[in-house]
A and B are shown apart, each in its own frame.
Chain A
Amino acid sequence: MASIQKAHWLFKERYNKTNSNHYRDFSPIQIDQFLTDATHQFIEEFAFPECINKDLT
């Protein structure tokens, strides 16, 4: 299991350019949604080609 706190820290470390005097930073709910979407994308695009029956379901 990958730590959600570490994931948030890594996200901000790599992409904190929205946090400025002019723009608000991404909120936890937004980052959670990005990470959830990324997890699904990871499964579909990178991990799942191992499964030959993907196209069936």
Chain B
Amino acid sequence: MTVVFLGMRAVMAIGGACASGGPFVPIRPCPDGVPILLVGGIWIGLILAFAYTLMVVGTDVPSIAGLFWPGLFLSLGWNFLDYGFDPPGTGGVAWGWLVPGVLFFLMGGIPLWWVMRSIAEPDRGPVGTVLAPPGGAAVLRMVRDMRNVRIPSVASADLVVDTLERLEELRRSGAIDDEEYERVKRRVIGEQA
């Protein structure tokens, strides 16, 4: 997020657009290293945010995942407003940057308000995530359910009952002794648990 924030400022400082590569000589070449930093920062940021959220959800560790979205949009919105009020070179006000600036502030600020509210009233927030985004409780439940799914090796409870009944018959007929009966019974029940 820091790298994307700084990369965006570097591009805006030279007018807000740049190009590199290709058969043409661009009027405004990109600052060295900034294209790779921006693309890399966005993708690595997405992957790490996803990995972090996946790891922290379903544990009782409080997470700061709810701050990712507000942090991204508020910091980039700040760039739009900063350069919108004081655009490089021309002077005056760049409305084309102020409008996305206000939009980004709303997109980041309203979720931040939600997050802050869930901190103030932790009982209303999802369990285990202090800074959870809106809808976090539903996602938390879904992931926990997915983790708790067990695939039984014996297809159904009926099959277990049938097996136990047949086992009981075998013991009564003397085909297996008590010890064998207990051992197999524990295995049949144990597989289901």
Indicate whether A and B interact: no
